[in-house]
């Protein structure tokens, strides 16, 4: 299974396109040659093509049919390229990820020319019952020493002082890896050529000029940093979220909220245990105890629970209903002054399944 959170900047168009396409590019990169050949033969014969992925879409997700065909054609060009290789592609998962990210970014760039931060943590339950966090990603920006060193290696020493200005890449962009943002990837000549031939300048270049100190592009890359973690039985859940969540809540707070929610949800599902003899007064007290713990109003969706705490918590870490209501009713143009957009996905792991897997593969 593949999970993703896609957080755009300067508009939603690129994030929307990546969310529709990236997982398909990764899947194609991992498919055996025979499967790619079968798909290509079906397309050539104009026969129905077996879905490459089974997508679990949110009911509110919108698919833009008018551009879906173009997306499919470019994906087809990619698998045709893989079929043209002399041998089975045989990518490792890391190679497939890198190849898919870079190829999609290249396709997005080419589509523009032809008339267009995110984090993940594991929630770990230790043997003594306490919870800990395990970050699986790093922020790619001016605060990350690895990214600073990488960019310095890729550009002349004369540019060291201008690579990051005011903690932004060339003084413009916070992330140092991203899809799109071709104004930090294309040469000056290509940018001028596209702008001169386009009737919609604003859509192609939000800054409408070549950035200052722009000497040796590309400065921005879509190449991912691939990390690998072997699941253990004590790994209980994975939280993937856009930076809007992490600006409001620490890793530890997020894991504490998810763990607490999980515990309370299990209590809510568990049957009441009775001591004999049972009478109405005893049952009434049990129900009052449960109600006093606030279980009746518990969010059924853990992502909703996290967002509620992110935007509605007071200085004591408790949700303030008045603050929450105010934050939720802010006009869109004013809301960005108080919070970033927030997208959250929480994936629960089945510990018994993990244990069974290792038991059967010893």
| Domain ranges within the chain, ordered by starting residue | 12-112, 138-225, 235-359
Res 199: pLDDT: 53
Percent of the chain, pLDDT > 90?
39
pLDDT tens track for 80-94: 999 988 777 678 999
E strand segments, 58-159? 119-125, 131-135
* pLDDT grade for 348, boundaries at 50, 70 and 90: very high
Q: Is the pLDDT of residue 13 over 90?
A: no
Res 115: pLDDT: 42
Chain Cα centroid distance, residue 150: 23
Handedness of CA 102, 103, 105, 106 (dihedral sign): positive
Q: Which residues are within 8 A (CB) of 262 and not within 5 positions of it... i.e. 6 or more apart?
A: 236, 237, 302, 348
Q: Is the pLDDT of residue 273 over 80?
A: no
Tokens, residue 343: 């997208």
For residue 114, with 0-12 CB atoms within 10 Å meaning exposed, 13-18 middle and 19 or more buried, which class applies? exposed
- Range of weakest confidence among 45-49, 159-163, 207-211, 233-237: 207-211
State how far the Cα of 74 lies from the Cα of 65, in Å rounded to an integer: 15
- The top-scoring range by mean pLDDT among 55-59, 161-165, 330-334 is 161-165
Res 121: pLDDT: 83
Q: Which residues are within 8 A (CB) of 121 and not within 5 positions of it... i.e. 6 or more apart?
A: 133, 134, 135, 136, 238, 239, 251, 254, 255
* pLDDT grade for 128, boundaries at 50, 70 and 90: confident
* pLDDT grade for 116, boundaries at 50, 70 and 90: very low
Peptide bond just before 295 cis, omega within 30 deg: no
DSSP 256-308: HHHHHHHHHHHHHHSPPP-PSSP-HHHHHHHHHHHHHTTGGG--SSHHHHHHH
C-alpha atoms less than 13 angstroms from C-alpha of 199 in its C-beta half-sphere: 1
Percent of the chain, pLDDT > 70?
82
Tokens, residue 232: 């253990």
Q: Is the pLDDT of residue 205 over 60?
A: no
State how far the Cα of 32 lies from the Cα of 322, in Å rounded to an integer: 55
- The average confidence (pLDDT) of the chain is 83
């Amino acid at each position: 299974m593949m999970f993703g959170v896609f957080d755009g900047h300067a508009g939603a168009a690129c994030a929307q396109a990546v969310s529709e396409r990236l997982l398909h590019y990764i899947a194609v990169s991992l498919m055996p040659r025979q499967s790619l050949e079968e798909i290509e033969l079906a397309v050539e014969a104009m026969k129905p093509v077996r879905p490459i992925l089974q997508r679990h879409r949110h009911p509110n997700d919108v698919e833009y049919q008018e551009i879906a065909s173009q997306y499919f054609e470019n994906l087809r060009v990619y698998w045709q390229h893989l079929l043209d290789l002399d041998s089975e592609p045989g990518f490792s998962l890391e190679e497939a990820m890198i190849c898919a990210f870079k190829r999609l970014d290249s396709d997005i760039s080419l589509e523009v020319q032809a008339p267009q931060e995110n984090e993940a943590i594991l929630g770990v339950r230790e043997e003594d019952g306490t919870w800990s966090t395990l970050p699986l990603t790093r922020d790619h920006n001016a605060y990350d020493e690895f990214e600073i060193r990488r960019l310095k290696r890729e550009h002349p020493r004369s540019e060291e002082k201008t690579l990051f200005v005011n903690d932004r890449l060339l003084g413009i962009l916070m992330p140092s890896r991203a899809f799109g943002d071709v104004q930090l990837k294309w040469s000056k000549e290509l940018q001028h050529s596209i702008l001169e031939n386009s009737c919609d300048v604003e859509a192609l270049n939000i800054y409408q000029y070549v950035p200052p100190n722009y000497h040796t592009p590309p400065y921005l890359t879509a190449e991912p940093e691939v990390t690998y973690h072997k699941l253990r039985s004590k790994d209980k859940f994975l939280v993937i979220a856009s930076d809007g969540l992490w600006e409001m809540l620490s890793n530890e707070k997020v894991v504490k909220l998810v763990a607490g929610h999980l515990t309370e949800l299990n209590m809510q599902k568990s049957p009441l245990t009775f001591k004999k003899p049972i009478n109405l007064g005893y049952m009434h007290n049990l129900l009052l105890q449960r109600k006093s713990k606030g279980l009746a109003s518990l969010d059924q969706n853990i992502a909703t629970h996290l967002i509620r705490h992110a935007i509605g918590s007071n200085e004591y870490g408790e949700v303030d209903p008045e603050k929450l209501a105010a934050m939720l009713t802010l006009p869109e143009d004013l809301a960005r002054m108080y919070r970033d957009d927030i997208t959250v996905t929480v994936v629960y792991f089945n510990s018994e399944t993990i244990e069974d897997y290792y038991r059967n593969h010893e």
